[in-house]
Structures are given as C-alpha cells and as structure tokens.
A and B are shown apart, each in its own frame.
Chain A
Amino acid sequence: AQKITQTQPGMFVQEKEAVTLDCTYDTSDPSYGLFWYKQPSSGEMIFLIYQGSYDQQNATEGRYSLNFQKARKSANLVISASQLGDSAMYFCAMREGSRDNFNKFYFGSGTKLNVKP
C-alpha cells in the first residue's frame, strides 16, 4: 500500500486566494512525522512545515498551515494568500519511528501548483 498519497496531480489557484493540497498517509507506527516540501523548477527541495504525530496543535509556518486530522490520517497543506512564487511542485512526506530514528522518508507523488495572476 502507498505510504503517502497525493491525489491532486495539478492544482490552479488565483493569486491572493488560499489553496489546500491534499495528503493522506498510511502507517501503523504510533510515532511518525509529516512534512511538506516545495520543489520549484530549479529542483531544490525546500522545507515548508512539519507535524509530529503527538503534536496537539496543527503546525503553522507563516502562510503555511497543516490541517492534521489524525483519525482520518490526513495532513493537508493550506497556503494562504497565494503568491506567484508559490508555483511549484509540492511533496508530502512521512518519516516513521522515534525521533531518533531518522531513516526513511516516504514521499508522495506530488502536486503541481500553478498560481494565476
């Protein structure tokens, strides 16, 4: 089974509007971490936001927030006030295990976000 599922291969959003990128995950490990990365056309992976499985509150980092619904195993990324520079590929990722077990990252297939002026 897929560990990370991103069902939106492509999304369009109008500049200054908010957009939600979907991510669901599958794990039986009670301890895990969820990540979102942005990959512009240059190829570099840019860390956006992190949510730990035991975190009580949804993570926020500036215009990025993570809508963490543990029972539904979803970790959707919300980008508020979209900017043209937000156009990129977005990857959801998961790391299983304890905080010291920093081995395998499972990445989703990505969502291509296009911000329209």
Chain B
Amino acid sequence: GAVVSQHPSRVICKSGTSVKIECRSLDFQATTMFWYRQFPKQSLMLMATSNEGSKATYEQGVEKDKFLINHASLTLSTLTVTSAHPEDSSFYICSARVTGAGTRFYEQYFGPGTRLTVT
C-alpha cells in the first residue's frame, strides 16, 4: 500500500522554541494532507487540512499562527509548532489522501507519527 513518512519520529525541545515536522508521501502524489494530534490514551483530533499550493484549513480552536502548515509540493507537507509550550506535547500524525487511477476513492494513509515533548 501507499507509504507516508514523518520526520522526526521523536523530538524534544525547550519551551519557546519552534519545531518543524515533515510529512511525505513516498510513492504517490497527495494534493491533500491532514494533520492530527493525539494526547495520551485519547483519540485523534483533526487540526488542519493541508492543500498543495494553497492555505491550510484549520479546525475550530486550532491557532493557525501557532501551528504553521506549508504544503509546498505534492509530496511534502510541514507542520511547524511555533513557540512551543509543554501543553503542546503530543503525538502528531499526518495522513494523505490517495488519488489517481487504480486507487479506491476512500483511501487515506497515515504516517507513523511524531512524538513531541516540550520541556
């Protein structure tokens, strides 16, 4: 199946610094990618929808100035957590919609996730 990678898999940063997380579709082009966060033992919550070549769409309650999303190419979306604080510590997961001939229209694949710890 399609592969989505994330980098880094784990990151520890100090409060007040910024952290960039990359999400790549490895063997397909993804016009749309999604960013989720998951707190321990909780479900995934959609943060934003990332569209190649246009501005991301943020869910209600998600600060777009704090969580900067850039979808610069058909295979890469980045999430930058600016001025991170301990409450931003979470598991961040991206997913990408698979499109094109031969794909099932509902296909969406998730990356392995990035665990962010802000100290």
Interface residues of A (CB under 8 A from B): 33, 35, 37, 42-47, 50, 52, 91, 95, 99-100, 102-105, 107-110
- Say yes or no: is B110 at the interface (Cβ < 8 Å to chain A): yes
Q: B106 is contacted by which of A45, A99, A103 (Cβ under 8 Å)?
A: A99
Selected from B46, B91, B110, B112, the residue in CB contact (under 8 A) with A104 is B46
Chain A residues positioned under 8 Å from B105 (CB to CB): 99-100
Interface residues of B (CB under 8 A from A): 1, 32, 34, 42-46, 49, 57, 59, 91, 93, 95, 97, 104-113, 115
User: B111: shortest Cβ distance to chain A, in Å?
Assistant: 7
- Count how many pairs of residues, one from A and one from B, have CB atoms less than 8 Å apart in the complex: 53
User: Do A33 and B106 have beta carbons less than 8 Å apart?
Assistant: yes
- The chain B residue sitting closest to A35, CB to CB, is B106
* Complex CA distance for A35 and B106, rounded to whole angstroms: 9
Q: Is the interface of B mostly helix, strand, loop or mixed?
A: strand
Give chain A nearest CB distance to B101 CB in angstroms.
16
How many Å lie between the Cα of A108 and that of B46 in the bound state?
12
Least CB distance, B97 to chain A, in whole angstroms: 5
Tell me the bound Cα distance from A35 to B30 in angstroms. Answer: 20
- CB pair A91–B113 under 8 Å, yes or no, is no
In angstroms, Cα B107 to Cα A45, docked, is 13
B108 touches A109 (CB 8 A): no
The reply to whether B110 and A45 contact each other, CB–CB distance below 8 Å, is: yes
Asked whether, in the complex, the Cβ of A109 is within 8 Å of the Cβ of B42, the reply is yes
Q: How far is the CB of A57 from chain B (nearest CB, A)?
A: 16
Contacts of B110 in A (CB 8 A): 37, 44-47
- Which chain B positions have C-beta within 8 A of A100? 105
Residues of B within 8 A of A104 (CB): 46, 49, 59
Could you tell me the distance between the alpha carbons of A104 and B57 in the complex, rounded to whole angstroms? 11
User: Among the listed A43, A99, A109, which residue makes an inter-chain contact with B115, where contact means beta carbons less than 8 Å apart?
Assistant: A43
Q: Apart from A43-B115, A45-B110, A107-B45, what are 15 other A-B pairs with CB-CB below 8 Å?
A: A42-B112, A43-B91, A45-B113, A47-B1, A47-B107, A47-B108, A47-B109, A91-B43, A91-B44, A95-B106, A99-B106, A102-B32, A102-B108, A104-B59, A108-B43
